[in-house]
Structure 1
């Protein structure tokens, strides 16, 4: 069986990400590449009065997220250059990043808060479907 060489760790920087990163670090050992990814959902609002203009706050949110993700990486001994903040649908962006970064394992947290998906959260469930590499869902 081939061992893993590159791990993509999908984290929610505003939730309990520690168990997810800890599990990835345990698997990685010392000579494996780890990338962290945080996906920003596109944030738009519509003015209630006047011209009904759409405003996109994604750039501002991304800058804050990049700073936070780099801090998390540094705290865990992960290269800050191996952090990625992207905007879009979480599962699609994680799939794309795994392919682009040549990851052979995705580690993602799951909380299972949504009533329909009792075992996995909706994002973890979506990531598992249609992905070409192994996925480890860590209960947080």
Structure 2
């Protein structure tokens, strides 16, 4: 299967950089799959999973939104937060979930409501991916 270059960047590190066969990521309009020689696009990414296919095997990461660009058979993803399942601190994610749920129970201005709703979605996404990839199950 044909490959393309994937680079996933965070402010503090290069999360991933390698040749891959395919990626699947959630955009704000739904999931998108990208393979080699995809047409050029720039699209916002939603909170969800980043699935990467390399050497015929899939690997997943939690991504907290960002921006994806496809250009010249290279995909660049910029995101503030991307984590492999083994990097997820489940206790921290649980606390973030509880904190967001508590705030959402209060009467909030629309901008604060949206901020805490996004925080809840990020925490739930991280917890779900960590749970799906637990080694002790």
Higher relative contact order (CA 8 A, sep 6+): 1
Q: Which has the higher strand share?
A: 2
> TM-score scaled by structure 1?
0.24
> TM-score scaled by structure 2?
0.25
